[in-house]
């Protein structure tokens, strides 16, 4: 093996270029995690980020896309039994969730006379204080995997889509703002959509040009009225038309999902544009390291950036990505124990 090959192997470049992989999905993961890091860079550095148009444009679809892409691979896991799948995902997702919570405790809370176990309990009750995506992904994947596994064991496959839709309806009833239930409720439809995307992938590929043409117009228009933690700007108009009948809120719920899904297809279009240049390979490389970047980037996102405004957000984002890659490749992936504890990787 030449020195160049050793470097490529060390940086996981060969893994990213493996012809057996779905490169478009990898590239989308890479694009999504870059968007997540940059929206967090804006969030940390702009006290008025909820009115920052770049932030709103990114957050409307980035984490939903990350969740959808996680659901996309669910169909490759049905060779496992339910207990084995839950064990596998516990090690993959919840072990790093708690290990990084311990790291944050040591770095930021132990010197403030905060007791460890009450701190961990607070993280369990409010996963948003930690790596909430891992927590939500574990419970969403466990729920949908169990539903589909039962359907297939009972040989009810022709009703499978209806069971998944029913699971979405059930998940939408989890409205309690504790133990991450509200986040599970919000993101489960995206996770389930990932399962459908895998199931009907050939159809989506065949119709992608029509879909792209639509979202190039629809997504920017839908984004105009979108707000993160508030009703859209046109909500008062809906109230005037429908009053307090609940129809206005239903339209808002549908609208928010339309923004997210159109944003995902819009990002897919941008990734397709990069296919013929080296940037596409970079996205693929980021994609196979996306979960590693996610769990690590919080350690670097509070770095002091250069300049002001967009330049500062960009510099912090780049520093967070580079810092996460360095921490992952040079330390965490080097040892089996650190791979298992911090990244959830057994091999």
pLDDT digits (tens, 9 = 90+) for 273-296: 998 888 999 999 999 999 999 999
The percent of residues in the chain predicted with pLDDT above 70, rounded, is 96
Q: What is the pLDDT of residue 15?
A: 75
Task: Give me 249's structure tokens.
Answer: 């809120």
Question: Could you give the percent of the chain with pLDDT greater than 90?
Answer: 67
Residue 17 pLDDT: 75
pLDDT given for residue 6 in this prediction: 65
pLDDT of the residue at 9: 73
Comparing C-alpha atoms, which of 72, 101, 131 is closest to residue 292? Answer: 131
Half-sphere CA count of 115, side-chain side, radius 13 A: 3
Residue 129's pLDDT is what?
86
pLDDT tens for 250-279 read: 899 999 999 999 999 999 999 999 988 889
Q: Which regions in the chain score pLDDT beneath 70?
A: 1, 4-8, 10, 109-113
pLDDT recorded at residue 110: 59
Q: What are phi and psi of 4, to 5 degrees?
A: -65, -40
Residue 337 has which token pair?
């124990």
**Which residues, other chains included, contact 114 with Cβ-Cβ below 8 Å and sequence gap of 6+?**
105
> In this structure, what token pair is assigned to residue 338?
């650190």
For CA atoms 305, 54, 127, 178, the dihedral sign is positive
Contact 316, 301 (CB under 8 A): yes
* pLDDT one-digit tens code per residue, 165-188: 999 999 988 777 788 888 999 999
Segments making up each domain of the chain, as ranges: 3-343
């Amino acid at each position: 093996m030449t020195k160049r090959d050793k470097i490529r192997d060390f940086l996981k470049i060969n893994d990213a270029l493996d012809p057996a992989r779905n490169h478009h999905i990898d590239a989308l993961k890479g694009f999504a995690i870059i968007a997540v890091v940059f929206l967090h860079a804006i969030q940390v550095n702009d006290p008025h980020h909820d009115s920052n148009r770049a932030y709103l444009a990114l957050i409307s679809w980035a984490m939903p896309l990350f969740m959808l892409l996680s659901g996309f691979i669910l169909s490759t896991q049905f060779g496992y039994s339910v207990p084995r799948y839950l064990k596998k995902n516990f090690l993959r997702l919840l072990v790093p969730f708690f290990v990084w919570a311990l790291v944050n405790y040591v770095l930021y809370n132990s010197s403030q006379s905060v007791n460890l176990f009450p701190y961990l309990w607070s993280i369990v009750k409010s996963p948003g204080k930690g790596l909430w995506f891992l927590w939500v992904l574990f419970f969403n994947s466990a729920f949908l995997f169990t539903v589909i596994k039962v359907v297939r064991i009972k040989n009810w496959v022709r009703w499978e889509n209806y069971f998944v839709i029913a699971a979405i309806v059930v998940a939408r009833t989890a409205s309690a703002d504790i133990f991450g239930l509200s986040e599970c409720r919000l993101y489960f439809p995206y996770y389930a959509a990932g399962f459908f995307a895998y199931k009907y992938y050939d159809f989506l590929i065949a119709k992608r040009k029509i879909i792209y043409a639509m979202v190039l117009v629809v997504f920017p228009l839908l984004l105009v009225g979108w707000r993160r933690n508030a009703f859209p700007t046109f909500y008062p108009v809906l109230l005037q038309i429908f009053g307090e009948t609940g129809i206005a809120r239903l339209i808002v719920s549908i609208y928010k999902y339309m923004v997210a899904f159109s944003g995902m297809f819009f990002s897919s279009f941008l990734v397709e544009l990069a296919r013929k240049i080296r940037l596409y390979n970079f996205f693929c490389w980021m994609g196979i390291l996306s979960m590693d970047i996610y769990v690590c980037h919080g350690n670097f996102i509070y770095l002091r950036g250069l300049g002001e405004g967009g330049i500062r957000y960009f510099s912090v984002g780049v520093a967070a990505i580079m810092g996460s890659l360095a921490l992952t490749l040079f330390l965490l992936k080097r040892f089996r124990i650190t791979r298992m504890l911090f990244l959830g990787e057994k091999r």
